[in-house]
């Protein structure tokens, strides 16, 4: 590790992410991939006290959830995640909690308490309803300030299959239709569906389409690359890349010596 990297690490020691999205949007799987683990995270209160996981995971107990709680995976403790669970219910109270959290953490002076990025998971298995309710309100009303928002389009495999069905309905054979769908689906999605963000007041700064998230050999390199690209602070970008322990490609692209 060179002197410059050591100096930058003195300013930042952990990277804090607010993870948003509906239940079953693939949030936990993505975080596990990012941290290179299949384990569940440990949950800590804002005071650093470990919380019983069973008290916050079941949907029936969402009222016990606190956005200030920190999710940390033992495989990579330099990531701190916050979950906006309950936000998708669309209540004014939950929206205000998320809004206040982003505003307060975004303007924190102490780097150890700052919010560094927002990952918003948006399932594409029903692309016609990409922005409804809480999602539409967030991108229309919630100003993230200097905190970059990355839209993560999950379940993109389903959208590819839907596009394949379209080509098959036009008379193409199954294999040809799948090959064409794999190539055309990303463009089709952006052109026909993701364009709704252009009409919002606070659109995401970057976006990424994730396929095959449930496959053992699938990682989230695209998400990591997009996040690094969205970070404006050089020291923070250096930290973010450094904590990807085994991602040599990412380190090489952004010129970081681990």
Q: What is the token pair recorded at 114?
A: 């700052």
| Per-residue pLDDT at 99 | 93
- What mean pLDDT is predicted for residues 123-138? 86
Residue scoring higher pLDDT (236 or 189): 189
The per-residue pLDDT for range 205-225, each reduced to its tens digit, is 999 998 765 555 556 888 999
The per-residue pLDDT for range 131-165, each reduced to its tens digit, is 888 889 999 999 999 999 999 999 899 999 999 99
Give the separation between CA 48 and CA 27, rounded to whole angstroms: 23
Q: pLDDT class for 126, splitting at 50, 70, 90?
A: confident
Mean pLDDT score of the chain, rounded to an integer? Answer: 84
In a domain, 258, yes or no: no
In a domain, 212, yes or no: yes
Query: Does 195 have pLDDT greater than 50?
Result: yes
Q: What is the token pair recorded at 201?
A: 């007041």
Q: pLDDT class for 8, splitting at 50, 70, 90?
A: very low
The number of folded domains in the chain is 1
In a domain, 166, yes or no: yes
CATH of residue 68's domain is 3.40.50.300
- Domain residues for 163? 3-253
What SS3 string covers 224-235?
Answer: HHHHHHHCCCHH
Closest C-alpha to 152, from 79, 213, 96: 213
In a domain, 93, yes or no: yes
- What mean pLDDT is predicted for residues 68-96? 85
Cβ(197)–Cβ(203) below 8 Å: yes
Which residue intervals of the chain are DSSP H helices? Answer: 3-11, 27-34, 92-106, 134-141, 156-169, 174-192, 221-230, 234-242, 248-253
Which residue intervals of 35-130 are DSSP H helices? Answer: 92-106
Q: What is the token pair recorded at 76?
A: 């990579």
| Per-residue pLDDT at 112 | 83
In a domain, 161, yes or no: yes
Give the separation between CA 132 and CA 130, rounded to whole angstroms: 6
pTM score, whole prediction: 0.86
Residue scoring higher pLDDT (243 or 91): 243
Give backbone dihedrals phi and psi of 154, rounded to 5 degrees, phi first: -90, 170
Provide the percentage of residues in the chain whose pLDDT is more than 90: 52
């Amino acid at each position: 590790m060179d002197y410059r990297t050591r100096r930058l690490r003195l300013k930042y020691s952990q990277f804090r992410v607010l993870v948003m999205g509906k239940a079953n949007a693939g949030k936990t799987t993505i975080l596990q991939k990012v941290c290179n683990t299949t384990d569940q995270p440990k949950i800590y209160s804002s005071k650093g006290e470990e919380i019983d996981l069973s008290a916050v995971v079941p949907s029936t107990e969402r009222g016990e959830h606190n956005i200030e709680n920190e999710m940390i995976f033992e495989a990579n403790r330099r990531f701190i995640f916050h979950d906006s669970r309950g936000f998708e219910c669309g209540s004014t109270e939950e929206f205000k909690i998320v809004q206040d959290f982003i505003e307060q953490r975004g303007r924190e002076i102490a780097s150890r308490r700052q919010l560094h990025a927002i990952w918003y998971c948006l399932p594409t298995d029903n692309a016609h309803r990409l922005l409804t309710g809480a999602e539409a309100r967030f991108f229309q009303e919630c100003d993230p300030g200097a905190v970059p928002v990355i839209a993560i389009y999950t379940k993109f495999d389903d959208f590819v299959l839907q596009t394949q069905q379209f080509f098959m309905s036009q008379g193409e054979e199954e294999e040809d239709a799948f090959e064409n769908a794999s190539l055309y689906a990303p463009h089709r999605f952006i052109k026909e569906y993701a364009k709704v963000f252009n009409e919002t007041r606070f659109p995401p700064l970057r976006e990424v389409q994730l396929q095959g998230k449930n496959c053992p050999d699938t990682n989230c390199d695209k998400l990591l690359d997009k996040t690094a690209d969205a970070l404006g602070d050089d020291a923070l970008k250096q930290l973010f890349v450094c904590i990807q322990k085994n991602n040599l490609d990412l380190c090489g692209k952004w010129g970081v010596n681990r």
